[in-house]
Amino acid sequence: MTTTTTTTTAVTAVKAAPVTKYGTIKGFIEERQQAIAQLIPKHLNPERLMKVLLNSIYKTPALQDCTPSSLLQCALTSAELGLEPGGALGHAYLVPYKTTCTFIIGYRGLIELMRRSGQLASIRAVVVHERDRFSYREGIDQVIDHEPHLEGDPGPLRFVYAVARLKDGSVQCEFMTKAQVDAIKGRSRASGSGPWVSDYEEMAKKTVIRRIAKVLPLSSEAVEKALEHDNDDYVDGAVSSVTEAALAAPDAQAEAKAAIRRQRALTIQEPPPMPEEAASQPEATP
């Protein structure tokens, strides 16, 4: 009698993991990593910048609803200025506005750019709370006398001021009331979200730093670009999506800026829409 043993080999069909929103965006940006790296200053590591950028997108689901081209524009701005978006340094923030990602420079980021100019001995911004002892006097000289309340709750913010000391020993001060800060906030398209909500005092400091930067003798292209970019955030009306034409358009008022944009010879095309069943969040960190 012959016994025939039949061995059945089980074939397991391995399904490809669905393409997530994050995966689509990650691939879109990584395809252009070389072009982004060309804009990054020498002091900044391209791999670290990409990691911080993608981490920020991964950790903020609302950013994954933004168009990949607007996220790419933020990556280019981050690279051009040499500031890390998100992360512990607080140099800059990625803020979703409907389906458009907005790059917002933080207080520390603007300070960092001004220090890199090499023309400042020191610069700082300070908030004044309700229970602080504070006096401010204008005249031939600016006089600020501030004693912070250090015991318990100092109360709400009332004023903010900035003090910059140049290497020649001269000092420049700027002072703003909360009402003035809120007026600036009201002109920002991101006034209802992002750092204006989560880090109001930091943004108040940034606002007075922006003001003092305009009167300091800083011959720094990076600071000029940062202020120019920041001015674009304080606009009225709808926010347009970033297009290839917008990235490549020359700026007649700043040929240097046009040259940088020509380096951005990228194909800014949105990836095809994802099927609805693939729109789930990623299961693993990048």
pLDDT band at 18 (very low <50, low <70, confident <90, very high): low
Of 64-73, 162-171, 216-225, minimum mean pLDDT range: 216-225
Could you tell me if 248 and 264 are in contact, meaning their C-beta atoms sit under 8 angstroms apart? yes
pLDDT band at 281 (very low <50, low <70, confident <90, very high): very low
Question: Which has more confidence, 58 or 5?
Answer: 58
pLDDT band at 132 (very low <50, low <70, confident <90, very high): very high
Q: How many residues can be counted in the chain? A: 286
Rg over CA atoms, the chain: 24
Note the pLDDT of residue 273: 52
pLDDT band at 246 (very low <50, low <70, confident <90, very high): very low
From residue 94, alpha-carbon distances to 52, 100, 106, 112 in Å are: 11, 10, 10, 18
- The chain-wide mean pLDDT, for the chain, equals 76
Of 24-28, 48-52, 267-271, minimum mean pLDDT range: 267-271
d(CA 180, CA 203): 12
Which residues, 6 or more positions from 236, have their beta carbon under 8 angstroms from its beta carbon? Answer: 187
> What does the buried/exposed string (b/e) look like for 126-139 if buried means 16 or more CB atoms within 10 Å of the residue's CB?
bbbbebbebeeeee
Could you tell me if 223 and 212 are in contact, meaning their C-beta atoms sit under 8 angstroms apart? no
Mean pLDDT along residues 183-195: 83
Note the pLDDT of residue 164: 93
Q: Is it the case that residue 222 has pLDDT exceeding 60?
A: yes
